[in-house]
A and B are shown apart, each in its own frame.
Chain A
Amino acid sequence: MNGVIETQDLSKHYGPVIAVDGLTLTLSKGEVFGLLGPNGSGKTTTILMLLGLTEPTSGTVRVLGYDPARNPLQVKRRAGYLPDSVGFYDDLTARENLRYTARLNGLTRAEADARIIDVLARVGLTSVANRQAGAFSRGMRQRLGLAEVLLKQPEIAILDEPTAGLDPEAAMEFLGMIRELKAQGITVLLSSHLLHQVQAVCDRVGLFHKGKMVLEGTFDSLADRVLGGAYRIKVETSRPDGLEPALRAIPGVTNLSQERPGQFRLETQVDCRAEVARRVVGSGADLLGLTLERPSLDEIYARYFREVDHEA
């Protein structure tokens, strides 16, 4: 068993609707994997199958070597799950909510209390531990959810849309906590449609579209594949006349567009800023600006689906 999570041709049908279609995925220990895709593309269904909360129509799943459909208790003991827009019992305090979870996990009272103090401190909720969960803001609820995941000291953390609906500051804080999980050697699978946030924490991402994982790999390799080049260079010059063919001829340039007279955007496979500068100056124009832009996941995503729709 080399993968912490392994799926093979995993499919789930709801009547005529195909929610997940032939998913093959392997996660190795300690990595952060992002399942990305629009709402309704099969991310949550995939997660539920990994936890044995819904049965696959076909295909196999192995989580830490266990089959979640056959042996869900072993899987759920080792994998923590933070559902999309998680809810708590409103009339119980944060501590009581966690205590219930601890009891469901079979922890003794003393052990539970010690762990609860620890996890509440780690997510920064110690000061509100005895407040009713009904009064919690969305961000606090999400953090309490993460505390619950940590409570069982999991090997895997599965987070469904962990940053959806959080304000930017809270989202950044939350992403920081996800990074801490990775530092502890916990394998993290997170799903999201907020690509730019995920980009910051994921080692590897998989793009979902209509139940299929259409793209998978590290961020750079995706950029390579979809955008034809991982680099974007923005050039600003004073006299653009006749410059375009010269820039286009630079080895490694795959695409060139003129945004305004004198302002070009180059897509290149290598970092060829030096060559660009040489050519601009050599042509007699003034070089006013030269910047390298890393493409964002949003761009990759948008570009990919534009191409898909175009072909269809």
Chain B
Amino acid sequence: MKREGSPWTGLWAVVLKELADHLSSVRMQLLELLIFLTAFAATFVASRQLRATVAEDPYIYLKLFTTGQDPLPSFVAFLGFFLPLAAISLGFDSVNGEHNRRTLSRVLSQPIYRDALLLGKFLAGILTLGISLLALWLLVTGMGLLVLGVAPSGEEVGRGLLFLLSTLAYAGIWLALALVFSVVFRQPATSALAAMAVWLFFAVFWDIVVQVAAQALRPAYGGDPFAALAQVRLGLFLSRLSPNTLFAELVIALLNPEVRALGPVFITQLEGAVLNSPLPVGQSLLLAWPQFTGLLAGVLLLFAGGYVLFQRQEVRA
């Protein structure tokens, strides 16, 4: 049966309302404070360390993102840790919250489709994260300007923007996941815990699972190089099912122009290569393109899943 009327009717009304809610909500302000503080600390440490090598390094600004000093991790590591939390906290109560406040049937009885409500909530979350990330990136770059005293090159700005985009895709995964759980579970607490559990699983346990599985499925005894290679490849494949790995590889490729491969490399492949010569932005992007599309595909799949579930859900409590 075909529906009539545009599914986007009222989309912007939802986006604007949710955006206003997010930006003024206490939980978002707390998270922003947390992110800004850690970013500040990480860049401060990095820039102090980098001062010594300013003159030698052509990609000093990118190092600002990736340099850490014990006990403080780098800015990128901080982002990888906090962004999923921020995204989950924006999305975990989006649908079940409306249910519990008894506003869902009232909103859906307005002339909009459910599509607009769900997509509007997702877009508002992405926009919120995008705004915070952009502010954060500008903050870090500005601090770099002050401390290091050199302006970033065009290439560095380009890489920085691409990095921003991939971070947003990574955050999108967790936002979409939280949205799905907010459709599935009636209690916001349950959906928050479930989303955190998935995040924790990928952050902590997935690496262990990957190692054990790779060793069990492709055992390598007695130094057989082919068996060892098979094991490494399987491990790499499995670990790339995790959004965390995809994001980490993306960051490595985009922020380190010297990186030329994201997997095992044979000596023979290095023949004739000029080592330590950086790749141009386009080539780095090409290198990490599968990871980037993988993240986007994950976002789309999760959102589509949530969409189907939400369409079939009964409105009444």
What is the interface of chain A, defined by CB distance below 8 A to chain B? 14, 44-45, 48, 51, 53-54, 69-74, 76-77, 79-81, 83, 85-91, 100-101, 103-106, 145, 148, 152
Contacts and interface: CB of A to CB of B under 8 A. Distances in A.
Interface string B12-24: 0110110001000
B110 A53 contact: no
Contacts of A45: 316
A85 B4 contact: no
A79 B109 CA distance: 9
Interface stretch (B49-57, B100-108, B181-189, B222-230): B100-108
Contacts of B13: 100, 103-104
Interface in B293-317: 314-316
A71 B110 contact: no
Interface string B76-113: 00000000000000000000000001110111111111
B10 A72 contact: no
Contacts of A89: 21, 101, 103
Interface of B: 1-5, 9-10, 13-14, 16-17, 21, 101-103, 105-113, 314-316
A147 to B, nearest CB: 12
Nearest to A160: B105
A73 B4 contact: yes
Given A48-B315, A104-B112, A105-B110, A71 B105 contact: no
Contacts of A145: 106
A74 B5 CA distance: 8
Contact of B101 (A73, A76, A90): A90
Nearest to B17: A100
Contacts of B107: 104
Given A14-B314, A53-B315, 5 more contacts: A48-B315, A74-B111, A87-B103, A88-B101, A103-B10
B314 to A, nearest CB: 6
A85 B102 contact: yes
Contacts of B9: 73, 106
Counting chain B CB atoms within 10 Å of each CB, which of A44, A70, A83, A89 scores highest? A83
Nearest to B99: A87
Contacts of A152: 110
Nearest to B16: A103
B10 A106 contact: yes
Contact of A87 (B4, B21, B106): B106
Nearest to B117: A104
Given A90-B101, A104-B112, A70 B106 contact: no
Contacts of A53: 105, 108-109, 315
Q: Which 9 residue pairs are nearest across A and B when measured between Cβ atoms? A: A87-B102, A73-B5, A81-B109, A103-B13, A104-B110, A76-B111, A77-B111, A83-B105, A87-B101
A54 B316 CA distance: 9
A50 to B, nearest CB: 10
29 contacts: A14-B314, A45-B316, A48-B316, A54-B315, A70-B4, A71-B3, A72-B3, A72-B5, A73-B4, A73-B111, A74-B4, A74-B5, A77-B111, A81-B109, A83-B102, A83-B109, A87-B101, A87-B102, A87-B106, A88-B106, A90-B101, A100-B17, A103-B13, A103-B17, A104-B112, A105-B110, A106-B9, A148-B106, A152-B110
